[in-house]
A and B are shown apart, each in its own frame.
Chain A
Amino acid sequence: MQQTFRIIDEDGIHARPATALVNTANKFQDTNSFAESNGKKVTLKSILGVLSLGLEQGDTLTLITEGGNESEALQALQEVMINEGLGELHE
């Protein structure tokens, strides 16, 4: 499953929301979660991976969940994106 967002935070993705995303992904141990942007795909279980995407305001970011409680995981990650003011749903 996947969902695409547009980054709205003016600092791009910074440490606090990245931390929240990784913590959330880690809660779903049986689910593989990834983040993809600008043709680069990283595991969501790594804060360094997420930060390495170098996301900036206006970039699009796709969150992908596979296996386990994939729909619940995607829902939780989507909440983080929106509650942290990090991104908005794209299309």
Chain B
Amino acid sequence: MNNLKGIAASAGIAIARAFILEHPDYSISQKQVTDVDAELAKLDAALAQSQTELEAIKARTLQELGEKKAEIFESHLLILNDPELIDPVKEKIKSESVNAEFALNETATQFIQMFENMKSAYLQERAADMRDVTKRILKHLLGLNYVSPSEISEEVIVVAEDLTPSDTAQLNRKYVKGFTTNIGGRTSHSAIMARSLEIPAVVGTKNVLSSVQSGDLMIVDGLEGDVIINPTEAIVAQYRAKQEAYAKQVEEWKKLRTEPTVSKDGVHVELAANIGTPNDVAGVLDNGGEAVGLYRTEFLYMGRDKLPSEEIQYVAYKSVLEKMEGKPVVVRTLDIGGDKELPYLDLPKEMNPFLGFRAVRLCLDRQDIFRTQLRALLRASVHGNLRIMFPMIATLGEFREAKAVLEEEKAKLEAEGIQVASNIQLGIMVEIPSTAVLADQFAKEVDFFSIGTNDLIQYTMAADRMNERVSYLYQPYNPAILRLIKMVIDAAHREGRWVGMCGEMAGDSTAIPILLGLGLDEFSMSATSILPARSQISKLSRAEMQTLAAKALEMGTAEEVVELVRAIDAANA
């Protein structure tokens, strides 16, 4: 038995066998072979294995995702059997006495280059299919043991160095019971995805990957941040009990599903959820979300090889708005850059991506991208209660410019005879200290603010949230942060605007009493945090929390603030 400690990234307990997710090394060298027939037989065997694998994936995709998604594997099967690919490979093995993987790679590369040089963007993308099929055959030729996350078909806990957005997009909730990674923190991409998928996760364990072998039984405790490898039977029994107790508590919270969020002294606040895709809406409604407080549209742009069209975006936005049945949906326009890259935009590497060309800065420069998104949003607006917000606004000038682009697109659509809702609220993320400080001026022009605490904290403390060595500076309870939040809320309320928060802090049980006291109107969090938060708020008096918040603002350190809140908890218990 081996215990590891990491960061509890997504609540719940998972007990299953380990599945090691590592991207293999496909490097190939040219070798001379003496037995050409053996080399040809090796190729045939690899092709047959690939065929069996693809047929199984195709069948499963057909069953789970439908005909359209399965078509791609049908064309992969055809490529696998394509005489134009296989014949030249065999010819090369025979005439040059080279190893099969080298011959395959040479031939496939020609096709990949052919596709890449085609005029049509659609055909250029087929290079990706060609690469995918080639890798599959190479995997068998090289005897590599790699299964992509989409091919997992039994209950497992995924273990990885880190999970990329495309890895997480492929995780199947039915089989992936939990995951754990070497790196990452509560706000890293993998952790956020785990919470939206409601999969227990522990990240930042530093060395889980080297401590576990594929197939080992393991426990991931996403409540405490513990990972246990090869537990004894007694430990498994103990965790099964904990799993059940947690399930029971979740049931308890579920009773609050259809209740409004009201403090002990009768003040209503709105509890909303953060989502990444239309599929997440089911979880929002299941957990009693009163709104979507943050729809992160960048997932629409990730895991693909070109920009999503207006139509693709329109369908996604419309779907979220319709599923929310008139409840508010705050859509954040593209927030790419920082830790979220889009390979196909081919942006230059930056020394300080978090301080660089990202989000609205990029959108105001690449207006083609921005306008396509705004058109899709405006067209979708008639299907529900849409609110639009711009990320990373640092100056009032940026907001005015972005708003002007929005107004232009709206006018164009109306001129084309396309209906656009008339009541779309327009707001901004407050995540840059300059904007928090100048909130009184912004409040005169925006309809609402949403405080993005993850970035607000990193920019205020000058501490990169991806850098573990300065992670101690991620201090949501630092009075400096609390004072900025207070400035924003007070400024907004003076102008009759509302203020939400969509960072991790909004769902944090230590922060909630203070935020309630500071007068926050909307708390947007992971869907799974909503019911615990509703339960917590129902036991708090806003009037008392105002006193608490006033005291917290006068503290010197984050630790003192935490102590203050704990004392209230103890008094209430």
Contacts and interface: CB of A to CB of B under 8 A. Distances in A.
Contact of B78 (A11, A19, A43, A52): A19
Contacts of A47: 75, 78-79, 82
Given A23-B78, A43-B83, A15 B126 contact: yes
Interface in A2-50: 11-12, 14-16, 18-19, 22-23, 42-43, 45-49
Contacts of B71: 15-16, 19
Contact of A43 (B79, B84, B123): B84
B111 interface: yes
B84 A46 contact: yes
A56 interface: yes
Interface string B112-140: 00110011101100100110000000000
B122 A12 contact: yes
A46 B82 contact: yes
A41 to B, nearest CB: 13
A85 interface: no
Contacts of A43: 83-84
Contacts of B224: none
A54 B127 CA distance: 13
Interface in B78-100: 78-79, 82-85
Interface residues of B, number: 21
B241 interface: no
Interface in A46-66: 46-49, 51-52, 54, 56
Contacts of B122: 11-12, 14
B120 A15 contact: no
Contacts of B130: 48
A85 B115 CA distance: 23
Contacts of B111: 48, 52
A46 B84 CA distance: 6
B359 to A, nearest CB: 31
A10 to B, nearest CB: 9
A12 B79 contact: no
Nearest to A46: B84
Contacts of A49: 82, 84
A8 to B, nearest CB: 15
A47 to B, nearest CB: 4
Contacts of A19: 71, 74-75, 78
Contacts of A16: 71, 75
A54 B111 CA distance: 12
Nearest to A56: B120
A90 B560 CA distance: 81
30 contacts: A11-B120, A11-B122, A12-B120, A12-B122, A15-B71, A15-B72, A15-B126, A15-B129, A16-B75, A18-B75, A19-B71, A19-B75, A19-B78, A22-B78, A43-B84, A47-B75, A47-B79, A47-B82, A48-B79, A48-B82, A48-B84, A48-B85, A48-B111, A49-B82, A49-B84, A51-B126, A52-B114, A54-B118, A54-B120, A56-B120
Given A12-B122, A19-B75, A46-B83, 16 more contacts: A15-B72, A15-B126, A18-B75, A19-B71, A22-B78, A23-B78, A45-B83, A46-B85, A47-B78, A48-B82, A48-B84, A48-B111, A49-B84, A51-B126, A52-B111, A56-B120
**Cβ-closest 10 pairs across A and B:** A46-B84, A47-B78, A15-B75, A19-B75, A48-B84, A11-B122, A54-B118, A46-B82, A49-B84, A48-B82
Interface of B: 71-72, 74-75, 78-79, 82-85, 111, 114-115, 118-120, 122-123, 126, 129-130
